[in-house]
Structure 1
């Protein structure tokens, strides 16, 4: 199989948010990934900043295999000891005994939760960086500081001001 074949098939069935990929990855090891033609690449993208754990690390493979072998994904309608343990560790890192943890499936969902939290506490003005990307949901898109991503979906949420990154004034 060739990269071009996969790209052509992709074009026919996948919505191209970022354009049609020209490289079809099939495996990875550490910081390296390999395409369908066997060419090796250094993975500098890390799942677009969402997965910086590398690929196929033996300890991670072992832990995931163990978990999937006993219980796959369950909703937050149910408690799970591992989830409680992780939440306790994260909350303790804040130094705030009243800290609570919210687990999200994506960055967009986490940003939506942050928007809801700010509104729930009476804060209706949000500051976001120009050029930043926060997701494709309506709330996250409202915070995204990239006009090309925002304009097709106007009007977006009100009360969001985009400022230059690093500008504390």
Structure 2
């Protein structure tokens, strides 16, 4: 019988991110507590930059943005807020980046979790993903369940299940 495999990846759906940014812009345009303030959201390549009058408004803006991300199905584990810094005209800004891809440290952690479980599967790192191979679908489903319940700091998706 042929081996069955799947890939563990960490991807960010760019379209859903764009939708979340658009919804955030719409909400801040209509919210009463943001009226008359310099609050805005901009995108720059892969990052989102949040601008506000002060740190409190920025925290409120981050809350609105996070709620829109959750509604669009983007896990907050993927969000990396930079430090809050001063911007032009007395405002503050925060550059928000998003993690994508399984970095080597996380891949090593995944390998260790799989090894400690003593499930008879093989795992190997391939560029920005981890491929898990086993003899039966049941073993692979156990690995998926195990990884979903583990404390890994990035969001994981499982694809190419063959």
Q: So what's the TM-score if we normalise by structure 1?
A: 0.26
